[in-house]
């Protein structure tokens, strides 16, 4: 599963693990991606999306119809 949110676009970030002696090694901060299935009344079918938790909250606030309409307008496959 891709580590990118389809709504917010958030992806992995990179940084360092810093030890007690301040030695630095590269690491990766992955977003909390969840696979969610929503019923979209305007399309008349279920849609499965890869979402971060912030993306789920965005859908709760704005509604699935408006978010899916914006995704389709951007050219994202839904």
> CA-CA distance, 13 to 15, in Å (whole number)?
7
- pLDDT score for 2: 64
> Dihedral through CA 66, CA 40, CA 1, CA 72, nearest 10?
-50
The residues of the chain scoring below 50 in pLDDT are none
pLDDT score recorded for residue 78: 86
Model pLDDT, residue 11: 96
Structure confidence by residue, pLDDT tens digits, 45-67: 999 999 999 999 999 999 999 99
State the pTM of this model. 0.83
């Amino acid at each position: 599963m891709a580590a990118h949110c389809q709504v917010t676009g958030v992806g992995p970030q990179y940084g360092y693990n810093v030890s007690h002696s301040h030695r630095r090694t590269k690491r990766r901060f992955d977003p909390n991606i969840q696979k969610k299935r929503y019923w979209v009344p305007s399309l008349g079918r279920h849609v499965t999306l890869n979402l971060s938790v912030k993306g789920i909250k965005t859908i709760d606030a704005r509604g699935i119809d408006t978010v899916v309409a914006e995704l389709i307008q951007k050219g994202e496959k839904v």
